[in-house]
Amino acid sequence: MKSLPFIDLVIVLAYLAGMVGVGIYFSRKNTTADQFTKASGRIPGWAIGISIYATFLSSNTFLGVPGKAFGSNWNSFVFSLSMPLAAWVATRFFIPFYRNTGAVSAYTHLEHRFGAWARTYAVVCFLLTQLARMGSIFFGIALSLQALTGYEMSTIMIVVGICIVLYTVMGGMEAVIWTEVVQGVIKTVGALVILYLVIAGMDGGVSRIMDIGSAENKFSLGTFAPDFTQSSFWVVLLYGFFMNLNNFGMDQNYVQRYHTTTSVKEAAGSVWLCVYLYLPVSLMFFFLGSCLYAYYQSNPELLETIKMQVATERLPTGSQEAIRGLAATLVPADYGDKVMPHFMVTKVPVGLLGLIIAAIMSAAMSTISSGMNASATVFSVDIYQKYIKSDLSQKESLRLLYIATTVFGLLGMLTGIAMIGVKSVLDVWWMLSGIFAGGMLGLFLLGIISRQTRNAEALTATLIGIVVIIWMTFSGQLPGEYAYLRNPLHQNMIMVIGTLTIFLIGMLLTRLKRKRIAEREVILDNK
């Protein structure tokens, strides 16, 4: 660990000040709740597309993806390959639906279809998903900056969190979008700089990296066998499709942006722009992880330093002998998230380091700020105005949004602090999002596709789906004598099975109900 050089510290502070300055600038426009949540529908589609791209390109991508590629292979890239299909479904069906309804909340429709319980359930799932997302991103940025500055991870989260809260609360959705446009550019340039430095520092360049990666099977997309018990190609593809469909189709972060454009065409174009940008850039991050693997395999003395660091963190009171013994047992998956921060500390020159830190911070700030704004909007529309007070004045609505945005930012920060010590930030995020989002997406698809499904069938299907999700999530902790009751599928299948369970059972119950009604009508006609 080391103190940040003065010039890099100046760059980082200038970046933070700039973000807060954007919030101050746009704060003058926030005179209504509509302006705060939808920017009054005046944002161009290209800016929305870059902002959605910036939200996808979080610190989980910036740090977690290279760490994942370093520790295993390109299996997780299949998640990105599923994006075009999910985007097609969203632009074909969901975006026109939202624009026609005009509701700023993605979950108002569920109450119209199934009752207040459906809306409340989806809102709770969304808010829990947002806390998991924001927490994992806070954790990811603190993990990196701790290696660069030596400060405690909790301290880093608090400082960054305060800056995010300030510009998000002051500037509203318009500040969020335009700062994300800037952040999307900064984080992409930062990743390109790191990739260049890794390749330039590697003897043999790209050809040597390809040789090492091929020999170690680092470019594999996973087994193509129909195996759903491990992270196969098909497991990640299915998970990616359902998760991206949840993102594009019913995540408030994205639905809220659709209302900031001037037309359905602009909103759909913003989604496709995000896909066109994210696919090649996510591939670049996986390649960066493979480059780092080859680099450290070629420099084993640097690798030993990382292993000792990880072992020391796991055994803070252990003897040197015990720490060395643990370090010798570590595999790449155990320290993948530490590799890029270590490379930045030791190999990135002064001046560029500040730019890259700003890129990492922007990767975190863009996703957290949009999550805060969306969470505050959902809380205001779907909880406070629904159950507490519906007739809010413009001043009261704005005050509520300011308070809710601040509270959700602080809760996300506390969630990140609680995650300190986890093994892989990307794995944690995937697991938590799959748990919370599975039931929500299944219910939403049921409401959109099956027009005959009513409250009773939807509620029954949702309750069964929740039981299935809980079983799949926690059955692995059952003792040995109940091993036959454990979930045999990979954890990423929780999202898939949970969604399909609610949707298919709802469809089945609807069909059975229609059949009973038809039989009853036949009997009455015969009488």
The pLDDT of residue 200? 92
CA angle 51, 289, 307 (to 5 degrees): 125
The pLDDT of residue 52? 83
Residue 48 near residue 177, CB atoms below 8 Å: yes
- Residue 2, sorted as left (phi over 0), alpha (psi -120 to 50) or beta, turns out to be beta
Range name among 320-329, 422-431, 449-458 with the lowest pLDDT average: 422-431
Range name among 38-42, 183-187, 360-364, 488-492 with the lowest pLDDT average: 38-42
- Taking residues 151-172, what's their average pLDDT? 82
CA separation, residue 435 to residues 28, 263, 473, 496 (Å): 40, 34, 7, 10
Nearest Cα residue to 441 out of 107, 197, 104: 107
More confident residue, 4 or 65: 65
| Domains, in order of start, for the chain | 6-418 (1.20.1730.10)
CA angle 114, 115, 120 (to 5 degrees): 105
The pLDDT of residue 210? 94
Interatomic CA distance for residues 141 and 154, integer angstroms:
11
The pLDDT of residue 262? 82
More confident residue, 38 or 120: 120
Q: Is the pLDDT of residue 278 over 50?
A: yes
Interatomic CA distance for residues 160 and 372, integer angstroms:
14
More confident residue, 113 or 337: 113
First vs last Cα of the chain: how many Å apart?
A: 87
The pLDDT of residue 178? 81
Nearest Cα residue to 118 out of 442, 494, 450, 507: 442
Interatomic CA distance for residues 138 and 414, integer angstroms:
9
Q: Is the pLDDT of residue 472 over 50?
A: yes
The pLDDT of residue 74? 94
The pLDDT of residue 427? 58
Range name among 28-37, 221-230, 256-265, 392-401 with the lowest pLDDT average: 28-37
The pLDDT of residue 1? 40
Q: What is the mean pLDDT of the chain?
A: 84
Work out the burial of residue 51: count CB atoms within 10 Å of its CB; fewer than 13 is exposed, 13-18 middle, 19 or more buried. Answer: buried
Interatomic CA distance for residues 257 and 229, integer angstroms:
37
Backbone angles phi, psi at 439, to 5 degrees: -65, -40
Give per-residue pLDDT as tens, 334-345.
Answer: 888 788 878 887
Radius of gyration of the chain (CA): 24
- Residue 222, sorted as left (phi over 0), alpha (psi -120 to 50) or beta, turns out to be left
3-state DSSP of 234-274: HHHHHHHHHHHHHHHHHCHHHHHHHCCCCCHHHHHHHHHHH
Question: Which band of pLDDT confidence, cut at 50, 70 and 90, is reported for residue 160?
Answer: confident
Give per-residue pLDDT as tens, 495-524.
Answer: 899 899 999 999 999 999 888 888 787 777
Question: Which band of pLDDT confidence, cut at 50, 70 and 90, is reported for residue 401?
Answer: confident
- Taking residues 108-113, what's their average pLDDT? 83
Residue 379 near residue 408, CB atoms below 8 Å: yes
